[in-house]
Amino acid sequence: MSTRILHCSTSVENYNICIQQNVAGFSHKGPQQNDLIYLAVKVGKKTLCGARFKLDQVTNHKPWPDSERYVHTLSVKEVEFCYPFDIGILSEAGGKHWSIKYVQSSKPITDQAARDLLDREFQTNKTEHFIPFEVTPIEVAPPIPVKTLEPVPAPAYQVLDEAPLMRDSIRIQAMLADIGDRMGYSIWLPRNDRSRVLEIWQTKKSSVLNDLPLNYDLDTIRTIENIDVLWIKGRTIVRAYEVEHTTSIYYGILRMADLMALQPNLNINAHIVAPEERRGKVMQELSRPVFRLLLAHSCSFISYNAVEDLAKEKRLKFMTDAVIEDISESAKETLVF
């Protein structure tokens, strides 16, 4: 049995189809039955993996729009899911040429260190549900006459590695951490985001927790530790925040739903934080039947603007988390049952 990465290039549609149709396609006949496959797709500047499976029987089923590319297709079995993670972590084992060593042509990954990295990251982010990426239509701009083209200085943000929306989400995470800290709560930040948040939020005291002081089973802890910001008092989660990233609002809501499903008696105030113009999308996702019963009475929407305004409040150390109720909009107020 070999371990391989099936890279769908930038085709989010093909990535989703692989899982929805339980089939994998390759451009050569190297992959064999029982090979372990990590499914990946390029989203923005990152190559993300959100599922893995074992190959089963050879099949002629080719449901992809570009089906002629695939000379070898197999059904899949033992499918597992995770919150999408960047397989760029393989650079830790393979250096700057990791994609050539481990990804190109779905070659077998013979390096044990690389296999361990993939397994560890997958297990850390594991979930029970498939997280499909949103297929965004590509808008083609009309051609611009050559004579109108002039050299334009690149905007300052282009020198950074992350897209503007991602940087906004990190900034909002930092603000939420700062607000909670000033109110006297301990703060939890996911390990993957922590260094970037702390570059913006330079706290003067050790309010950021290195470990969660919670007594739950391993699946629950793995879900909780990936929530974007937690305010904690003693051994109790006071507030939980998911901040929109560059992928989809759906992921944050799904993480909250996973938590409520794992611990149905857990009384947590959960919040989806996103730009005001995304409010409608948040409510639309919360109206999905799979989320409605779990989150309608415990999850609310908070806009970026509301967080920014609250962060300017000079009397936060005299306030409690109850102030969040004044800036949040309960999902149950807009859902129709």
**Is there a domain that residue 147 lies in?**
no
The reply to whether 47 and 178 lie within a common domain is: no
The reply to whether 262 and 326 lie within a common domain is: yes
Number of structural domains (the chain) is 2
**Is there a domain that residue 159 lies in?**
no
Find all residues with CB under 8 Å of 137, minimum gap 6, and list them.
none
E strand or H helix that includes residue 88:
none
- Which of 102, 127, 152 represents a domain boundary (last residue)? 127
Domain membership of residue 101 as a residue range: 3-127
Question: Which three-class secondary structure state does DSSP give residue 262?
Answer: helix
**Is there a domain that residue 42 lies in?**
yes
The reply to whether 294 and 174 lie within a common domain is: yes
Q: At what angle do helices 249-262 and 279-286 cross, to 10 degrees?
A: 40
**Is there a domain that residue 55 lies in?**
yes
Summarised one tens digit per residue, pLDDT across range 274-290 is 888 888 888 888 777 77
The end-to-end CA distance of the chain, in Å, is 49
- Which of 127, 147, 181 represents a domain boundary (last residue)? 127
Summarised one tens digit per residue, pLDDT across range 228-263 is 999 999 988 999 999 976 456 777 788 888 888 877
- pLDDT > 70: percent of the chain: 86
CA dist., res. 208 & res. 195, Å (int): 11
The reply to whether 203 and 329 lie within a common domain is: yes
**Is there a domain that residue 220 lies in?**
yes
Summarised one tens digit per residue, pLDDT across range 152-164 is 443 332 333 444 5
Query: 66-70, 90-94, 177-181, 206-210: which has the highest mean pLDDT?
Result: 177-181
Please report which confidence band the pLDDT of residue 169 belongs to, taking 50, 70 and 90 as the band edges: confident
The reply to whether 258 and 110 lie within a common domain is: no
The reply to whether 116 and 208 lie within a common domain is: no
Would the pLDDT of 84 be above 70? yes
The reply to whether 169 and 318 lie within a common domain is: yes
Least confident of 213-217, 225-229, 324-328: 213-217
The reply to whether 315 and 170 lie within a common domain is: yes
CA dist., res. 245 & res. 321, Å (int): 24
The reply to whether 209 and 310 lie within a common domain is: yes
- Which of 82, 103, 127 represents a domain boundary (last residue)? 127
The reply to whether 112 and 170 lie within a common domain is: no
**CATH code of 51's domain:** 3.10.590.10
Alpha helices in the chain (DSSP H): 12-20, 91-94, 98-102, 112-124, 164-182, 191-200, 218-224, 249-262, 279-286, 289-295, 304-311, 324-327
Q: Are 8 and 17 in contact (CB under 8 A)?
A: no
Q: What is the pLDDT of residue 318?
A: 93
Would the pLDDT of 72 be above 50? yes
CA dist., res. 21 & res. 76, Å (int): 9
